[in-house]
Structure 1
Amino acid sequence: MTDATPVNPSPLDSPLDLRAVVAGIERTNELLTRVLAEVATTPSTHAVFVDAGYAYAAAGRLVAGTEDRRAFELDAEGLIEAFIDKARTIFPDSRLLRVYWYDGARRRIHTPEQQSIAELPDVKVRLGNLNANNQQKGVDSLIRSDLESLARHRAISDAVLIGGDEDLVSAVEAAQGYGARVHLWGIEAIGGRNQAEPLLWEVDSQRTFDLDFCKPYVTRRTGFESLGEALARGPAPSREDVRFVGARVAAQWLGARGHDSLSELLPGHPYLPGTVDQELLVEAESLLGLSLRGHADLRRALRDGFWDHLRMQF
C-alpha cells in the first residue's frame, strides 16, 4: 500500500461554513447601508466665531467714523441675529450649533453689556483679558482652541470666522486639518483692508458686509465726536489747547495720588506707564469732547502738557 498524505479540508468546503460567511457579509452590508442612510439624513452643522474687538472697530469706523467704543453704541443682539440669518441663507441644509462671541474684559469679569449678550439664545460669550491700553489679550488663543476642538470632534462641518487678525491663521489651519471648511466674513474698510492678507489666503471663502448692512446696528452717542468730525465742523484744537488739557489732567492726577507717585514717574521721563497714559487719554478726551485716537501729534502735545505740570511740582 502506498502512504497517502491526508488532505485537510478547507474551512469553506462545508456548505454550512459558506452559508455562515455569506450571512456575515449580508449583515455587514446591512449595517453599512444603515450607517450611510443615517449620514445622508444627518444635517451638517455650522458655528459662527466673532472677534468682538474686530466687529466693534470695523463697524464703528465704517458707520461712525471712529473705533472708540465710547463714541457709539453697537446693537450686538441685532448684529448677531443678522449674522445668523446670513449663515442660514448660505448654509440652507445646515443647522447652527451656536455663535461664539469673543471679547476682552478686566480680570475677565463680564460687563453689563457682555452679560446681556451672554443671555441671548445660541450665544456663548468667551472672555480674554483687557490690558491697561484697552487691548484684548488671549482672544485669538480662545478662538483657536474652540475652532480646533469642534472640528476635531466633528461637531461642525463649516465655521464662519468674523475677524481680521493674522494670528487667526493657525486657528484656520487647525480646523481645516480636521476637515472643516472655514469661511471668513469681514466688514468693509474705508480706503484699505482691515483683514490680514495671510488670513484671506488661507480660508475657503470670503464675504464682506458693506455700510448698508452695518448701519442699522451702529448709533453715534451724542456729545462725543471724532477729531475728524470736529475738523469738519470747525477749527480743531491747537497743540497748545491740548497741551493745556494735559497739564489740567496732571493736576487732577497729582491731587488724587500725592507727590509720592510723582517721584515714581519722573525717572521714566519722557515715557509714561501704560496705565497712566491710558488714564490721561481717557480724561483728556472727556474734557475735549472728542477722540484723539489716531492723531499722534496731538497725543504727544497732551503728554508734554502732562509732564510740564508734573516737573513744575518737583
Structure 2
Amino acid sequence: MVAGVRAAADNEPRMNHDPGAPSPTDLGTRLERTNELLQRMLAEVAKTPSTHAIFVDAGYVHAAAGLLVAGTEDRRSFDLDAEGLIDAFIDKARTIFADSRLLRVYWYDGARRRIHTSEQQAIAELPDVKVRLGNLNANNQQKGVDSLIRSDLESLARHRAISDAALVGGDEDLVPAVEAAQGYGARVHLWGIEAAEGRNQAEPLLWEVDSTRTFDLDFCRPYVTRRPVTTFESESEPPPSRDEVRLLGARIAATWLGERGPDSLAELLPGHPYLPGPVDQDLLVEAERRLSRSLRGHAVLRRSLRDGFWQQLQSRL
C-alpha cells in the first residue's frame, strides 16, 4: 500500500522552481515601490501649471484692425503699435488662463525673401515673442504663413508643451492647424477683431475651435494710428516737374528689381503698360514718401512716375 502511494506520487508532474525567479515577497515589494513612484510622479504633474501660447497672424491683425479703426486695410496708411497690442494679448490671456503660464507669443508675417523688415526685427527683439516669416509675392500676398502656424501648433501640442492655444486669425486654411492640435489634446481658442461689417473669420474655422472671443473697437483703437497725408495744395513750394518724377520712378524701379529679382520682372511684362494694383500702389506710396508730398491729385505726374518705372525695367531686358 505504501509502495503504491509512493509510486503514484512519483508519477505526478513536478513544478520546476527557477532559483533566479523572485519570490512572492520580492514581487510584493517591487509593486509597492512602483506604486510609490507613480504616486510621486502624479503629485509632481498635479503641481505643474498648464501652459498656453498665443499665435498671431499679423496679416489678419493689420487688415482687420486697420479697417476697424482707420477705415483701410492698406498697411501703408496706418501705424500699428505691435508691442502694445502683443502686451494686451498677453494680459488678456493671463486673465482667461488664470492657472496657466505663457510659453511665448508667435507672430507670423510675410517678408520679401523672408528677410526681416526693421519693424519685424523690433518685434522679434521683444521678450517672449517669436517672429516667424512666410514669403511675400509680387502682389504683396503672404505665402507659407498658414503652414508655419500649423507646424508650430501641431508640434507644441504633440510634445505636450501647451495645453491651450489662443489663435488670432480668420483664414479657413487654419482649420487643419486647429484639427492637428486638438488631435493631441490641446484646446484651441479663436480670437478675432470686430469686423467693420459682416465677418472677417471663416465659418469653418469658427465651428472647429473650442471657444471664440472678439476684440472690439475700444480694445483696438489705442494701437492703430492713421498716417497723415499731405497734398500739394497745402504746400507753398511748387510741385516737382514731370522729368523729376520720371527719374524718381526709374530709381524706385531699380530698387524694386534689386529686391525682387528677374522673376518678378517677368511677371510684370505681360501687363505692360499697366502695373498690377499692389505694385502700382507700392510705387505711388514710395514716391510720395521720397517726395514728402502726395501725388493723389496729379494724374499727369503719376503717369510720369509709371513711365519712369517701366523705362528702367525695360532697360534691364
- For the criterion TM > 0.5, the same-fold answer is yes
> Residue 56 of structure 2 contacts residue 105 of structure 2 at CA under 8 Å; is this kept in 1?
yes
- Counterpart of 2:25? 19
> Residue 61 of structure 2 contacts residue 193 of structure 2 at CA under 8 Å; is this kept in 1?
yes
Following superposition, the deviation at residue 117 of structure 1 comes to: 0.6
Structure 1 CA distance for aligned equivalents of residues 213 and 85 of structure 2: 16
The alignment status of 1:3 with 2:8, answered yes or no, reads yes
- Count of residues in Structure 1 that have an aligned counterpart in Structure 2: 272
Structure 2 CA distance for aligned equivalents of residues 131 and 179 of structure 1: 35
Structure 2 CA distance for aligned equivalents of residues 54 and 20 of structure 1: 63
Following superposition, the deviation at residue 280 of structure 1 comes to: 5.2
Following superposition, the deviation at residue 18 of structure 1 comes to: 1.9
> Residue 47 of structure 1 contacts residue 160 of structure 1 at CA under 8 Å; is this kept in 2?
yes
Following superposition, the deviation at residue 180 of structure 1 comes to: 0.6
Within 5 Å, give how 1:85-104 maps onto structure 2. 85-104=91-110
> Residue 224 of structure 1 contacts residue 290 of structure 1 at CA under 8 Å; is this kept in 2?
no
The alignment status of 1:76 with 2:82, answered yes or no, reads yes
- Counterpart of 1:211? 217
Residue 124 (structure 2) aligned to one of 111, 115, 118: 118
The alignment status of 1:152 with 2:140, answered yes or no, reads no
The alignment status of 1:34 with 2:29, answered yes or no, reads no
Give the fraction of aligned pairs with identical amino acids, expressed as a percent.
Answer: 74
Within 5 Å, give how 1:1-314 maps onto structure 2. 1=4, 2-4=7-9, 5-9=11-15, 17-223=23-229, 253=249, 268=271, 272=275, 277-279=280-282, 282=285
> Residue 11 of structure 1 contacts residue 17 of structure 1 at CA under 8 Å; is this kept in 2?
no
Structure 2 CA distance for aligned equivalents of residues 44 and 269 of structure 1: 57
> Residue 249 of structure 1 contacts residue 306 of structure 1 at CA under 8 Å; is this kept in 2?
no
Following superposition, the deviation at residue 136 of structure 1 comes to: 1.1
Larger radius of gyration: 2
Structure 1 CA distance for aligned equivalents of residues 67 and 269 of structure 2: 36
Structure 2 CA distance for aligned equivalents of residues 8 and 158 of structure 1: 60
What amino acid sits opposite 1:20 in the alignment? D
Structure 1 CA distance for aligned equivalents of residues 114 and 81 of structure 2: 22
Structure 1 CA distance for aligned equivalents of residues 230 and 252 of structure 2: 26
Following superposition, the deviation at residue 8 of structure 1 comes to: 3.3
Structure 2 CA distance for aligned equivalents of residues 202 and 94 of structure 1: 23
| Structure 1: runs of 5 or more not aligned | 226-247, 258-263, 292-297
Following superposition, the deviation at residue 20 of structure 1 comes to: 1.1
> Residue 133 of structure 1 contacts residue 278 of structure 1 at CA under 8 Å; is this kept in 2?
no
Compute the RMSD of aligned alpha carbons: 3.5
Structure 2 counterpart SS, 1:222: coil
Calculate the TM-score normalised by the size of structure 1: 0.75
Task: Kindly provide the CA deviation profile for residues 155-213 of structure 1, in whole angstroms up to 9, marking residues without a partner as x.
Answer: 11111100001100010011111111000000000111100011000000000000111
| Structure 2: runs of 5 or more not aligned | 232-243, 254-265, 311-317
Structure 1 CA distance for aligned equivalents of residues 174 and 147 of structure 2: 8
Structure 2 CA distance for aligned equivalents of residues 134 and 115 of structure 1: 19
